[in-house]
Amino acid sequence: MTTRRSFLGLLSAPLAASIAFPRFGGPLLHGTRAMMPSDIGTLDDEAYWRALRTQFTIPADQAFFNTATLGSSPRVVQDAVIASIQHIGRDIADWDYKPDHENFFTGYYPEMPTRDKLATTVNCTGRDIALTQNATFGMNFLANGLDLKPGDEVVVTNQAHPGGRKGFDLRAKRDGIVVREVIVPEPPESPEQLIQLFLDATTPRTRVWAIPHISSSRAIRYPVFQLCALARERGIWSAVDGAQSLGHVAIDVQSMGCDAFYASPHKWMLAPVGTGLLYIRPERQKEVWATLASSAWDEQTDPMYRLMQYGTGNLSLLIGLGVAVEFHNQIGSARIQQRDFALADRLRSGLASVPGATIVSPTHPELTCATTVYGLQGKTGGQIQDYLWERGRVRVRSMGDTIGVRHACHIYNSPAEVDKALALLTELAAA
Ligand SMILES: Cc1ncc(COP(=O)(O)O)c(C=O)c1O
């Protein structure tokens, strides 16, 4: 079996050279050269983020605030994926199936280089991670893989995204487990209030707490450290849905203390669409059966590889994922979180001066994040969304007519873009 030395090592030498991050050799005027963050060098903060913005292909006159749905991959990630697809298409006949030849697909190999690389971002080892297609796969692999008996209980929130919950609903219908739904106040007042909801819904039959790290529709940042500790004391699985948190807030699965963490790097990690990860704490990995079975479905020496038995998959996406993780790591999770939160703070304080604006997401500092959900009196979510786009090429996402919009700030956004959105909202409020 071929071993992969690194995510670029599996490419032919000329291809690897062509996507191996050209060095930054000139002024960043037009941003036409694909660069890694380390090529930008040391610049003061705003200049650094401006330089980084040139590495995204979103047109300069467009402000994209919908990373909570899907991120925009930087140029180096796009280039890596495209180069790999072209390489496979061109050089496939050269594949002799001998052990020292690179592979051209995933699904039959442990993919350790990519798992190791992702592990650096969440602080575990690559062996504790299964590569999936997205968070939904991770949640389903856990929900379907646990030996849950009729009457066993799972606590979920009423605001859970379907991709963080429905696998448990399926088990309820099929196997008679009980899904207990806690109703989250809008907005919650404090971390303690959220913790109490989980405790109140817990009984001696509770086996799993399905915890959104950051919720999708209301952007609530849950007190995951405390929740995981309380679950651990009770022997309950803490299953953290990290679809909205990976790449957004700094993640350390070991200090968080979760039993499982599933995520979609194609959102805030800016990886190619259709990439995912499932982490399970080493001590609990063997409690989870494989849901999709192929050759290594029962490979006990690499328990998380058992959960990657999905048949032929797209290697080019994994290569792009590796580059995206490297791009993220070179900036640094803490720096990204700080930047994103600062932009969101600017938005939230600006909203206080927009007539008729109401923040729907929490304002308690421990519950906020880089995403804000807000409404405007007398306007539907659709009206706000469309006004911002049509008048200013500012992309936020409607959360439905009665709620308002979701506005996610990430590293390609600037304070000027936040200010532009606020000016448009003020204009719309007066219209
Ligand atoms: C909190 C949360 N969980 C799960 C998902 C599902 O993500 P995916 O479709 O990438 O599996 C989403 C998607 O928006 C989400 O916001």
> What does the pLDDT look like over 347-380, one tens digit per residue?
999 999 999 999 999 999 999 999 999 999 999 9
Q: How far is CA 303 from CA 241, 285, 421, in A?
A: 21, 6, 47
pLDDT at residue 41, as a whole number: 80
C-alpha 416 to ligand 1 mean position (Å): 29
Q: For atom 14 of ligand 1, which residue has the closest CA?
A: 69
Q: For atom 1 of ligand 1, which residue has the closest CA?
A: 216
CA angle 345, 347, 348 (to 5 degrees): 65
Q: For atom 16 of ligand 1, which residue has the closest CA?
A: 216
Tell me the CATH class for 137-240+250-256.
Answer: alpha beta
* CATH architecture, domain 334-430: Alpha-Beta Complex (3.90)
Give me the torsion for CA of 77, 80, 81, 85, rounded to 10°.
170
Are 214 and 249 spatial neighbours (Cβ–Cβ below 8 Å)? yes
Token pair for 364 = 């308690």
Atom of ligand 1 nearest to the CA of 266: 10
C-alpha 210/C-alpha 204 separation (Å) is: 16
pLDDT at residue 32, as a whole number: 55
Q: Which residue, 250, 309, 284, 315, is CA-closest to 105?
A: 315
Q: Which residues are within 8 A (CB) of 29 and not within 5 positions of it... i.e. 6 or more apart?
A: none
C-alpha 243 to ligand 1 mean position (Å): 5
C-alpha 431/C-alpha 411 separation (Å) is: 31
C-alpha 430 to ligand 1 mean position (Å): 35
Token pair for 294 = 């192929």
Residues with a CB atom less than 6 Å from ligand 1: 134-136, 161, 163-164, 212, 215-216, 241, 243-244, 264
C-alpha 217 to ligand 1 mean position (Å): 10
C-alpha 66 to ligand 1 mean position (Å): 13
C-alpha 308 to ligand 1 mean position (Å): 19
Counting as low any pLDDT under 50, the low residues of the chain are 1-31
The secondary structure of residue 244, as a DSSP letter, is: T
pLDDT at residue 28, as a whole number: 34
Atom of ligand 1 nearest to the CA of 135: 11
Token pair for 260 = 């499982």
Residue 328 φ/ψ, nearest 5 degrees = -60, -50
Q: For atom 6 of ligand 1, which residue has the closest CA?
A: 163
Q: For atom 5 of ligand 1, which residue has the closest CA?
A: 163
Are 428 and 378 spatial neighbours (Cβ–Cβ below 8 Å)? no
Q: For atom 7 of ligand 1, which residue has the closest CA?
A: 135
C-alpha 136 to ligand 1 mean position (Å): 7
Are 240 and 260 spatial neighbours (Cβ–Cβ below 8 Å)? yes
What residue segments make up the domains of the chain, in order of their start? 137-240+250-256, 334-430
Buried b (16+ CB within 10 A) or exposed e, 186-217: ebbeebeebeebbeebbeeebbbbbbbbbbbb
C-alpha 36/C-alpha 301 separation (Å) is: 36
C-alpha 68 to ligand 1 mean position (Å): 9
Best of 66, 136, 218 for a ligand 1 pocket test (most atoms within 8 Å of beta carbon): 136
C-alpha 74 to ligand 1 mean position (Å): 21
Instruction: Provide the sign of the torsion angle of the four alpha carbons 26, 29, 34, 38, taken in this order.
Output: positive
Atom of ligand 1 nearest to the CA of 213: 1
Are 374 and 399 spatial neighbours (Cβ–Cβ below 8 Å)? no
pLDDT at residue 115, as a whole number: 98
Atom of ligand 1 nearest to the CA of 137: 11
Burial (CB count <10 Å: 0-12, 13-18, 19+), residue 104: middle
Q: Which residues are within 8 A (CB) of 117 and not within 5 positions of it... i.e. 6 or more apart?
A: 7, 126, 322, 325, 326
